[in-house]
């Protein structure tokens, strides 16, 4: 049986580009930056760096955008700041500049589960939120409300393992990794989640 194991070729950048007519942005939204302790801010920075590393495996890294990126974030970020896209203003303004009017917001509180039908949007948004104190409950939906107020259409989608968000890692970089496994390698959600557990 193991001889029949699926061979998974890594796509060349050209093949990838053909598969995805326009590469989406993966946005880490720092709307809730000021609600974090210094230690948590450090963790956000680390997870952004790790997200860049993951994206580099598939894309160029530029597709990683960090919005609401203030001077404190830039000074605390030890990754290659010049190789990602940082935007100091609101996420909605960034999207409008890029001509994107509909996004997928990764949200553990969403009703609908992320599926391949969602892979046609111009941007995926992950909350730049780290939970250590338990004081940031339901902060992700607020990011969606803020975008909708600014006229962006938001598909709120959750990632689940066997139907439940329990068991899904909530680190920013792991959420990104799960999406990439599904989108680029065609893995099922359960398989992708297992790989990042």
Residues that bind ligand SAM (CB under 6 A): 106-109, 126-127, 129-131, 136-140, 158-159, 165, 168, 170, 172, 175
- Minimum CB separation of residue 120 from ligand SAM in Å reads 18
Contacts of 21 (CB under 8 A, 6+ apart): none
N-term to C-term CA, the chain = 26
Number of residue whose CB is nearest ligand SAM: 127
Contacts of 151 (CB under 8 A, 6+ apart): 92, 101
- Minimum CB separation of residue 10 from ligand SAM in Å reads 26
Burial of 6 (0-12, 13-18, 19+ CB in 10 A): exposed
Within 10 Å of residue 149's Cβ, how many Cβ atoms? 9
- Minimum CB separation of residue 15 from ligand SAM in Å reads 28
Question: Nearer Cβ to ligand SAM, position 15 or 190?
Answer: 190
Strand order in the sheet with 25-29: 85-87, 64-67, 25-29, 123-127, 102-106, 153-158, 112-113
Within 10 Å of residue 33's Cβ, how many Cβ atoms? 17
Question: Nearer Cβ to ligand SAM, position 84 or 160?
Answer: 160
Question: Nearer Cβ to ligand SAM, position 11 or 53?
Answer: 53
- Minimum CB separation of residue 18 from ligand SAM in Å reads 28
Question: Nearer Cβ to ligand SAM, position 9 or 158?
Answer: 158
Helix (H/G/I), strand (E/B), else coil: 194: helix
Question: Nearer Cβ to ligand SAM, position 84 or 154?
Answer: 154
- Minimum CB separation of residue 96 from ligand SAM in Å reads 21
């Amino acid at each position: 049986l193991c001889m029949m194991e699926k061979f998974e070729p890594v796509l060349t950048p050209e093949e990838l580009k053909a598969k995805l007519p326009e590469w989406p942005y993966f946005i880490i939204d720092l709307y809730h930056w000021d609600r974090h302790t210094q230690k948590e801010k450090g963790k956000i920075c680390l997870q952004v760096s790790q997200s860049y590393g993951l994206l580099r495996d598939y894309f160029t890294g530029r597709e990683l955008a960090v919005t609401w990126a203030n001077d404190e974030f830039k000074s605390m970020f030890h990754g290659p700041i010049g190789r990602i896209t940082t935007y100091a203003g609101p996420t909605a303004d960034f999207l409008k500049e890029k001509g994107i009017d509909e996004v997928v917001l990764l949200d553990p509180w969403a009703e609908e589960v992320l599926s391949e039908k969602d892979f046609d949007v111009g941007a995926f948004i992950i909350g730049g939120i780290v939970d250590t104190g338990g004081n940031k409950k339901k902060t992700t939906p607020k990011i969606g409300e803020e975008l909708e107020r600014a006229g962006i259409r938001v598909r709120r989608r959750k990632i689940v393992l066997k139907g439940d968000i329990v068991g899904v890692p909530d680190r920013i970089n792991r959420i990104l990794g799960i999406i990439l496994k599904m989108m680029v390698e065609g893995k099922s959600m359960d398989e992708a989640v297992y790989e990042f557990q």
